[in-house]
Structure 1
Amino acid sequence: MAVSTPAVAAPASPPRLAHRTGLMLVVIAMAQLMVILDATIVNVALPSVQTSLGFSTQNLSWVVNAYTLAFGGLLLLGGRIGDLLGRRPAFIGGILLFTLGSLLGGLAQNSGWLLGMRVIQGAGAAIVVPTVLSLIATGFPTERERNRAFAVFAGVSGAGGAIGLVAGGLLTEWASWRWVLLVNVPIGVALALAAPLFIGRTPRSEGRFDVGGAITSTGGVALLVYGFIHASDSGWREATTIGSFIGAVVLLVAFVFIESRTPQPIIPLRLFASRNRSGIYALGVAMMGSLIGMFFFLTLFFQNVLSYSPLKTGLAFLPLSVSIIVVSGVMMQLIPKIGQRLPLVAGTLLITGSLIWLSAISADSAYLSDLLGPMLLYGFGAGMVFMPMTMVGVSDVEMEDTGAASGLLNATQQMGGSLSLAVIITVYGAATNGATGDPAHVLAKGASAGFLVAVGFTVVALALVVLLVRPAANAPMPGMMPGMDAGPDAEPEPSADDSPSAPQAKNLE
């Protein structure tokens, strides 16, 4: 069955894209990897950043959160930018903004300067990621090419966090913490120069930006995260904590009000009408929250308990990264045969089991005997989940909603990850509050409590996937035109509306 789409959905340059899809995939995969790994590449460098720029321990976590909150909060607006301005100029603009933030962040002389540049990096990433996903959904003419592209996307998305830790360890130990940011500059410039050569022009939709929706959604989640982090230090009854939660509720209610009345919202509420997508959004929150939480606690454990160097800490995550990449490649071959639901359920079960295993962590835990096993189990589960989660999240939507759908899929992961980490850190603080004795035992006690909270997230997500997600066999991806066969070698049939000169295909960029 094919998706019925208006003429504006037709690819503007099918011959060019058909001949250069391999090179286009390289460009967009490198861009995706760059912005995803930047969420974790600074983690290993945090102690060096703290010493260099004078961060307090409480504020140090904002080096990570400033990026992920801006990334997640502006993803929804980023999706609309690609729809309204054209995906190629949006891709180039996002890459250049991200590169500028990386350059100035690497030159930061104080904490405020660095945090501001992390926000700029996040804003650039928020434009790039939904544009990349929309290009995959619409720029590959056969199902086989799309499946390959989604497998690559899922692999770099899933492994990007672990690769960032390895790269961060290498750069911090061999050069300086500043190079975890400066390394993006030559890569970003190269991608911006390559994009016009390998990414075809796409039509621009007519409409306007929903700035009010972007501001209220980002502000609401940011206040929620701040409220949880502040509560872990100052208590739940403190005035700032209460004010943060009240402000968050007000902004999020305003966001729903704005979206329900805006003619062109950044989140068309009709996207939530699909049970499949609603279940996938919940799974994305749990997945990213557990992944960020695992990186956070194990990074602390490796350096503070096992006395690993930054480089050794990064290398300790390498098996996790490799397992995600390998299993994602296997899923590319299996999903056309077994469907998307079985890997989603089985992968979430494996992730839940790995977190239960990690919750047994203690000060006496060793890497090979106690930590490597659950890390590999998590990698197997994540590799099974990422590709079908991405495919279901953006499938069966109208072409004008592909930017919003891809933005929402990524936004639930990034903002949900920030919020989940804030909850986990709050539980960690409660578990270690007043604890005395060996710091290693205190850290292990808090980490164990944090992993149990992550288990709760994934159990809820598993229940929602089982109850809600029922992807249709051979479900069409956005961008499949009438007459486009679902078979591996099918090509779109010519149509009078496929020409960029058709009346509805306007403003090619």
Structure 2
Amino acid sequence: MSKELKLAAPGKELGGSLSNIETAKNYVVQRSLLRSVFIVVTCTAAMIVNVFNTTSVSISLPTIEKDLAIEEDKLQWLVSAYFLSSSCLLLYSGRLADLYGRKKAFMIGTLCQATFSLGCGFAQDGVTLAVLRGFQGLGGAATIPSSLGILAHAFPPSRARSIAFATFAAGAPVGSAFGMIIGGVLTELTSTRWRSIFYLATATSALIGVSGLISFDADVSSSELVKRVDWIGASLVTIGLVLIVFVLGQGENASDGWKTPYIIALLVVGVIMVALFLVWEWKLERIIDEDPSRATSMWTPPPLMRLSLWTRAKGRMTVIFVIAFLNWGAFSGWSFWVQLYYQNYLLLTAVESMVRFIPMLVVGCLCNFFVAMVVAKLPLVIIIVTGSLLMATATILFAVIDPSVTYWAFGFPSTVLIILGADIVYSSGTIFLARTSLPHEHSVAGALFQTMTQIGATFGLTVSTIVFSTVVDRESAKLGVNVNSSGTNAPMSAQLVGYKDAQWTSAAFALMGALLAVLFLRSVGIAGHQKVIRHFDSD
């Protein structure tokens, strides 16, 4: 029978490793439009819940602190525990999803999130809650890379793929806004207060799991001949990332700051572990490429992550990863300091602050249609530069804000631009990944992209925090005030300068992303689908 597919030129979409017939067989799946819609909605909902699990808890930390009598210096672990497990296990989870089935990985992830979210809702002390949060994060580590793989497999290069990835990308910033808004409302207005956040996450994760079970296509066996996991590489990269992310989050709060001995030691060990991982992966890839039969050996499994993945499209894959790192550093910095500006400087309540983030939800939902239209018409460099500059403009608006003027002059346009820019960069980046990576590594590529955004968010927040603290200390000293360790006695004028300079730092991250795109992505061309029709005959 004859089947017709819209595919890009031979060998470009999938790295040239598969024939066109094999590519067609991977993508030809008969399903209804409604089922396709549910696939996209389910994956997007998983992204929203993953981000919601972080921002909703962040906004409710003061209430949790009082209810469970948690010491202030340990409070951050309620957020960090989830982030550590969800971000540091992404690459490992993506590899397992590619090998043993993305649908299976997704279902396990949603079950994990639902189970431990419910446990968090019943926690009676801070230690228990932090431990459960760590296990809850395992669900996000499984669902996000598998979702990217599911979408890449379910939709061939076409307008449908552009819409699918743009919608999924909107889930990250929308989830951030949703978490801040709903988290604040539930914490203040429900009888169960902060526990309501976890009950909502439980119910939503369960529904997502049911939807995925019904709508997702059956798993397709990996095209790799040897289906084995590189446990040595997985251990090295996981331990290394855990240590690095821990240091980035804890360094500023340690007893002697970044000079604290254990902070320095853990950072060095973390960097060494990641370096060893890269050397090990390079060695495995080289051995197997020279002699594929050695992949059957216990000590030479297929690499967890082929380093050649970074060199795809003449090294532009690396540029995309770095741009994602920088832009998410800008986005996380903007989100964090805007919340503090509203609540600590303008002295707004949580609900009053969250109302100001509502435009993020609206724009985030509408943005995917815009991205789907332009990604097939404009070169990637224009899209990435535009998104990065929009994010830079959003942060600059808060860097020059006049607190005495209306929200509509600075706050509103900044909120609209930050979500628009973030969505454009994320969706176009994931579409480029799906085009460039091989079918059996879609989840690994997606996991790597997500890891870079997560670490970039932590790094951006760390750098902007250092800037804020330094500026507040300097400005306070000018006024003759010695700031305490928590900074609560700093003059309001000094805090305002700190907030502004922290936003200038975030702007620098976004501008560096735009500069990299201008320098290295000019010849990439259009990242979205290309209208090339090819025919395939199969029995």
TM-score by length of 2: 0.83
Q: Does 359-368 or 259-268 show the bigger shift?
A: 359-368
Q: Say whether 1:449 aligns with 2:501.
A: yes
1:444-479 superposed Cα distances (whole Å, 9 cap, x missing partner): 2322232222222222222211122246445577xx
| Counterparts of 1:73 and 1:376, CA distance in 2 | 30
Equivalent residue number for residue 123 of structure 1: 138
2:486 corresponds to: none
Instruction: State whether residues 392 and 471 of structure 1, in contact with CA within 8 Å, keep that contact through their aligned partners in structure 2.
Output: no
| Gaps in structure 2 of 5+ consecutive residues | 1-8, 285-300, 482-488
- List gaps (5 residues or longer) in structure 1: 478-485, 497-509
Structure 1 residue corresponding to 2:42, chosen from 27, 30, 47: 27
Aligned to 1:315: 355
The answer as to whether partners of 1:281 and 1:393 remain within 8 angstroms in 2 is: no
2:302 pairs, out of 244, 261, 264, with 264
- Give per-residue Cα distances to partners, 1:30-51, cap 9 Å, x unaligned: 2222112222121211111221
Give yes or no for the alignment of 1:296 onto 2:336: yes
| Alignment of structure 1 residues 120-269 onto 2, 5 Å | 120-141=135-156, 143-175=158-190, 176-205=193-222, 206-233=226-253, 234-262=256-284, 263-269=301-307
C-alpha distance in structure 1 between counterparts of 2:231 and 2:445, whole Å? 17
Find the counterpart in structure 1 of residue 492 from structure 2. 440
Partner of 2:515: 463
The answer for the alignment partner of 1:383 in structure 2 is: 423
Q: State the structure with more CA Rg.
A: 2
Cα 1:55–1:289 change in 2 (3 A) is farther
Per the alignment, do residues 369 and 19 of structure 1 end up closer, same or farther by CA in structure 2, a change over 3 Å counting?
closer
CA distance, structure 1, for counterparts of residue 195 and residue 50 of structure 2: 17
The 3 A distance-change label for structure 1 pair 420 and 430 is: same
Q: Which moved more, 1:163-172 or 1:59-68?
A: 59-68
How far apart in 2 are the matches of 1:472 and 1:370?
A: 35
Q: Return 157-166 or 1-10, whichever deviates more.
A: 1-10
8 Å Cα contact 2:110-2:209 kept in structure 1: yes
CA contact (8 A) 2:380 2:521 kept: no
Which amino acid counterpart does residue 397 of structure 1 have in structure 2?
A: S
**Any conservation in 2 of the 1:97–1:124 contact (CA below 8 Å)?**
yes
Indicate how the Cα distance of structure 1 residues 438 and 240 shifts in structure 2: closer, same or farther if over 3 A, else same: closer
Q: Deviation at 1:78?
A: 1.4
C-alpha RMSD over aligned residues: 2.6
Q: In 2 relative to 1, CA 83–374 (structure 1 residues): closer, same or farther, beyond 3 Å?
A: same
Q: CA contact under 8 A between 1:24 and 1:198: conserved in structure 2?
A: yes
Q: Give the aligned partner of residue 394 of structure 1.
A: 434
How far is 1:19 from its partner? 6.8
Instruction: Please report how far the alpha carbon of residue 65 of structure 1 lies from its aligned counterpart in structure 2 after TM superposition.
Output: 2.4
Q: Check the 8 A contact 2:48/2:171 in 1, yes or no.
A: yes
What TM-score do the two structures reach when normalised by structure 1? 0.88
- 1:107 is matched by which residue type in structure 2? F
1:166 positional shift? 1.0
279, 283, 294: which one aligns with 2:323: 283
Q: What's the CA shift string for 1:228-275, capped at 9, x where partnerless?
A: 444424233321222122222222222212222344233211111132
Please give the alpha-carbon distance, in whole angstroms, between the structure 2 residues aligned to 1:491 and 1:8. 11
Residue identity in the other structure for 1:240:
Y
Q: Give distance in 1, aligned partners of 2:230 and 2:118.
A: 29
- Distance in 1, matches of 2:413 and 2:41, equals 32
Deviation at 1:346, TM superposition (A): 1.4
How many residues align structurally? Answer: 487
2: distance between equivalents of 1:212 and 1:286? 29
Over 3 Å counting, the alpha-carbon distance change for 1:23 and 1:353 in structure 2 is closer
Moved more, 292-301 or 208-217: 208-217
